[in-house]
Each structure stands twice: as C-alpha cells, then as structure tokens.
Amino acid sequence: MKKTLLILITIGFVNLINSQTKLSATLKSATKVTEEGEGGLFFAGEKNVNYRFGQRITPHGDCVDVVNGYAFVTWYKGGMDKRNLMLSRKNLNVENSPWVTIEFPHKHVGQGGEILKGTGIRGDSHNTAAIGISTIDNTIHIIYDMHAYSRSSLPNDFFNYSVSKKNMAFVPDNEFTLEIFNAKRTYLKAGQDYERMTYPMIHRADDGSLIARYRKGGSGNGDILLAHYNGTSWSNNWIYHEGTLNLPNRNNMYGGERFLNGKFYSGFSIRYSTNNSTSTSNGYMLNSGLYYAYTNEIPKNISTQWFDVNDNSISLPIRNNIDPTKDPVQIGQPGDDFGTAAQPRSSNDPAWTVTENGAIHFVTRVDNINVHYYKKANEANFSKNAGGLIPNPSTRGELYSYKNHVFMVELIDGKVNIKTTLEGENNWEIIYTGQESKSYQHFDAFVENDKLYVYLMENTGNNTVGVGDKRPLYFQEFTLAETTIQQEPTPVLVIEAEDFTTASNDIVVGSNNSASGGRYIDSFRSNQFLEYNFNITDAGDYDIVLHVAVRNRDDSVMDIEVNDQFFENFLVVKTGDWNIYGENKIENVNLKQGENVIRLTQKRSLSSEPDKIEIFSKANLSTNSFNKNEINIYPNPSTGIFKLNTSVENIKYQLINLQGRVLQKGMVNNNKLDFSSFAKGMYLIRLNYESNRTLIKRILIE
C-alpha cells in the first residue's frame, strides 16, 4: 500500500515550553508482611474442585486501614490446611519497624461452610475481611468470612465480628497480641439480624466514628445495609439501597461508599436478578449503569439527607428502575454508549472518585473495553471516552484523587502501574511502573493524605494445592506530590505510520481508536519494512520518537535507517497491551534541509504495531524571536477570545492544532484574536512580524 506523505508542519524551532503541574508517585518503602515460610491464602487448584468463583482471597476487599501513622492489613493464612484469619500492623512512624501479626482461631469456612461441615474443601473468594479503626476509642474492628450464610446452616460462623478492647489499636508492638481482642461475635448489636450478609466494608468518618456496610441477600436480589459506631456502640442496621423488589426490577448494588473531602459518597452499578446467559429483562449482561449519590452528613440512620449528581434531594432507600424514566441517581449507561454485543457485558463494579474541587470520575468496563465518564463540578453533563490508556478497573484498583489529579493503580504484567489524568479530563499517562523482579498476583490499595499504600500478593507461579496456596504478601508505601514540569516540546513533524512512501507488499493497516488518527500498522512481521520520505526546513540535530505497541515480547527489535545513519537492533519498549503505544526515542539524529528518508525493518515476528513517528528539533529558539517582554497573550485559558498586550504592529498569526495542522491564519487586528468557533482544547499560536521574528505559545480554549 502506497500513500502520499502529508507534511503536517515544518516549523524548525518549537522549543518554547510552558510549565504545568504533574502528579508524581515515588516509592518510599517496600516491606514483606509475611514471615519466611509463611504466606497468605490463595485458592490453588481447579475451579469448582478446590475453589468457587475466583482464586483470590488475600488481599481482597476492604482489607487495609492506615491511621495515625500505623498500617493495618487483614489476610488469611495459607495454605488450605491453615486458613486462619490474620491481622498485621506496622508502625510507619518508625523507620524499619517490623510487621507484628495476630493469628485468630477462626478459620475460613469455605464455600457454603462446607469445610466446617466436612462436605468439601472449596474456598470462597467472597469471604473478605474488612477492617476499620475507630479513633474515638482506638478500637480495631474486623468483619469477615461471610457469603449470605444463615444461622441455621452455620450457627457460630454465619456472621463474624472481632473487636479489640478500648485503646488497644496503637499499643506497643510487644503488646499487640490476641489478648487485646474480645471474643468473636456473630453480631455488631445484639438483637439485630445479621443473616445472609456479604461484602463487608468499614468506613471511618472525620470524627473517628465508623460506618459498616454489607449486602443482605444474593446476587441480583439484595439490599445494602449500613450501621454507625459512635465510639460506644453500634446502631441498628438501616437500609440504604433496596434491591429486593418485585420482578423485573429486582437487583443488587455493586460498588461502595467512601468519605472524601468531608462528604460521604456512593458510586455503583446494579445487577438485575433476571440476567443470565440466555435471557434478560433489561438488555444487559450482569452489571449495568453508573450511579452516584452523596450526603453532607455522617449517615447515622435512614433520615440522613442524600442528594443526586444535580444536588437534588433524594429519599432513602434508593430503588432502581421502579419507574425507568425516573431512576433517581443514574449518571450514565455504558452498555448503551459503548457496548458491542447484543447484551453488553460488565462484570465488575465501577471505580470512581470525587476530587476536592468536586470533579466526578467513573471508570468501568463494557464488552472488554475500558470506559471513562467524568465532569467538573461546574459542568452540566458527563463527558465519556473509551479505550487508550484508560485504566482497567477489573484489576480491582480504585480511583483516587490528589488535589486536582485523578489516578488509579493497576497490575500490568505483574508490576504496579499508576496512571493519572487531570480532573475533568481524559488525558491519561503512566507515572509509575514497578521495576522489581517480583511479579504480583493481585492487590488492594489505600490513600491517606499524600500517601498511597499498595498491599500485594506475590505470584509464585505454582498452582498446586498444598504448595501454591501459600504466597508471600508485601506492602508498598508511595509519596504523592504535585510537581511543576516543563511541558514537552511540540514536534516539528508528525508522520502517521500508515502514511508510508513505500513498504513491503503485505503490510496491513489496522483500525484502533487508541491509535493516532485511528489507524496503525497491524502485525508488523519479521523482515517487513516501512519507508518514509519527508521534508525538513532547517538542517540540524533532531530527536526521532517511534510510537509502537508491543504486547508480549521483551525482545522486539528493529533496524532503523535514517538517510545514511544506521541503528541496528533497536530495542522497542514492551507496553503490555496492543492498545498502548510506547515512546522509543533515537536522540541527536542529523537531518538535512529538504528531503530525508526513514526506513524501519522489523526483526522479530509479530512483535510490534507502529502508530506514528514524531520528529523534534534540538535547536534553541532563533535569536530573532520575540523578547519575552515585547508581547503577552491573555487571558489564557479563555473561552476563545485572546488579547495581545504589545506595541508591536503588523503581526501575522497561525492557529495550529497539536497534530501540527494550521487551522487558521491571518493578521492580528486591534490586538485581538477570536478562536471561539474552535473546539475546547490545547492549541499552538505562532506569531510572526518583521525580520521573521517569531513567538510560539500554547493556548487553551475552555
């Protein structure tokens, strides 16, 4: 396939750079929670024989709490012959302090309690262990090991609750033993019904009190109950979300709640009980919709006032789809917007957060596509995007915020990966990728102030019962910070990979929304080549950046020839996903004025998919550029009207998009430029006047 190369822009000096803020995540410490020879429980073996549902039980659920400089994590002891509930604590205020651990007599009961009943040995991944510390009386609360059990079936284990004695959460390490806990109970408050509970969580309010939440009932047919601990006792259970409705509206909430910035928020999807593999009442497989509500109070009872996304008052309990036209808290329907199947499938609950400025972000998956819904506080409607670098919530990472940044933790190829975007935007970038040799199986995370804590299980690679069911646990502490960075220079030239001048006969151009311009080179195979002819205005040294997706191979290499300069066996970075195009820089390549040639030859079969080539000038700004005091563009950002504060006359302008295309040009009149007809976003403006004096500046239309 041969195409005429489109030269997008031939500016020879675009090194004027502005500063912006960027979120950074710095690994401060990484410690091992479990001792040598011990590990957390993992359900090794065969599904439906050795475990039901999933293999994950540690770490899982609401299993981390960090408060007053102490980290607390819950886990189950591996392997299946052990299964004890465990609690570990570390004093983060003291450098190199050890993890101290309490082993409880309670053991994971297994699917339906069958291990206790002697009817089987299957583990159940639903039976998470939630922890919360009340700072009113410094007590430790753990709710654990339950999956809709009845009292008649498991009279001593249908609901499991362990609470410490008062003022024991922060005792010295040598006093942190089982003796600080009261005996296990099957209730929070005597006289309340705790049968058929699942998915416990414990949330701490700013005053140190706690909110417990759990589902009562089953998948597609359950209610969400809350209870409040005031430092002395637990309240009655009260219903927040009612799903045990008449068919076809019967459903269950999948999601959770959090205290953020002085408010209590709820974000979730719902699952209808009528959904199955062959029929559905609503057109969706498993979970559907995105829902949001909040209260300005600590929710102590059903009388607490709640609000929807438009700040309208709503009454409790929340009931979904009794009248589909009046669903009170739905903010989006990803299945309608991005579904590709006849019955769009979402199997996980959404990840979500609200920033301190009130921006709302949701990330979920539909038909194996990552989708992102977001809006700033002052915006009426949600924007939505799919694909690209949007994180994958099925890794069980949550969305978090730090100042005006939103971020999420993922595991990619067994390594911790942190992606971030500014609030109200969808410009995700990777700011951290783990470099350690260990590979991790899964994780849970927790954020407090400027710290991110990631609690991980190592992937030992052994799935044998009795060996692979005991895996080491680790805890990583990151420091979050907002730093001022120099914005990347704009390329003088962007060449789309599909715009080759000549190439092998069997080159295939593919389509992908994640690719620049929506197209890329598909399945670039061994000994295939791509050649590009392009023009450069000014001779000199340039950096050439190849954007290439490499999912599987660590040894993807190309031979790259630029004019008469040869770069043999150039290693292309592995991105771990065909939807992620990594940057591969060749620095200080000499290009001549006029026509140049780049030739790419693939050396490893099916190991890369090129997207585009960017060329950056190494030259400084021309000495004929404007003096910085001669001209100022304001306001920036603006709604599209920009003014120039300058005495310079006869200025020519060009408005250029970030792909290098000139969108509009002309003369500046009355020191004013009107770009209000253009879409919101970032642009370049290039100003010229006598003696070819030039200024290039980024502007933002909002």
DSSP 93: T
pTM here is 0.72
Residues 334, 388, single domain; the answer is yes
Strand order in the sheet with 84-91: 64-67, 70-76, 84-91, 99-107
- How far is residue 515's CA from residue 496's CA, in Å, rounded to a whole number? 10
Question: Which residues lie closer than 8 Å to 494 by C-beta, 6 or more apart?
Answer: 8, 9, 516, 612, 613, 614, 615, 659, 660
CATH of the domain at 692: 2.60.40.3080
Question: Which residues lie closer than 8 Å to 172 by C-beta, 6 or more apart?
Answer: none
- How far is residue 373's CA from residue 361's CA, in Å, rounded to a whole number? 6
The dihedrals phi and psi of 477, each to the nearest 5 degrees, come to -115, 125
Whether the CB-CB separation of 208 and 231 falls below 8 Å is answered with: yes
Q: Which of 554, 561, 553 is nearest to 530 (CA)?
A: 561
Q: Which of 8, 131, 24 is nearest to 67 (CA)?
A: 131
For the chain, the domain total comes to 3
What pLDDT shows up at residue 291? 96
Q: Do the domain assignments include residue 431?
A: yes
Q: Do the domain assignments include residue 571?
A: yes
- How far is residue 453's CA from residue 589's CA, in Å, rounded to a whole number? 42
Residues 440, 413, single domain; the answer is yes
What pLDDT shows up at residue 399? 93
CATH of the domain at 158: 2.130.10.10
Positive or negative: CA dihedral 299, 305, 306, 309: negative
CATH of the domain at 554: 2.60.120.260
Residues 498, 452, single domain; the answer is no
- How far is residue 606's CA from residue 255's CA, in Å, rounded to a whole number? 39
Whether the CB-CB separation of 586 and 567 falls below 8 Å is answered with: yes
Provide the residue range defining the domain that includes 416.
21-486
- How far is residue 116's CA from residue 321's CA, in Å, rounded to a whole number? 40
Sheet strands (E) in 182-235: 197-204, 210-218, 221-229
Of the candidates 556, 583, 617, which is a domain's last residue?
A: 617
Q: Do the domain assignments include residue 15?
A: no
What pLDDT shows up at residue 5? 31
Average pLDDT along the chain, 702 residues, taken 10 residues at a time: 29 39 92 95 95 94 97 97 97 95 97 89 95 98 97 96 98 98 98 97 97 96 97 97 90 94 95 66 81 96 95 92 72 93 89 96 95 95 93 86 95 93 94 92 94 97 93 97 70 90 91 89 91 89 92 86 90 85 89 93 84 82 44 85 84 75 81 86 77 70 86
What DSSP string runs through 516-568?
Answer: GGGEEEESB-TT-EEEEEEEESS-EEEEEEEEEE-SS-S--EEEEEETTEEEE
Whether the CB-CB separation of 562 and 589 falls below 8 Å is answered with: yes
What pLDDT shows up at residue 282? 64
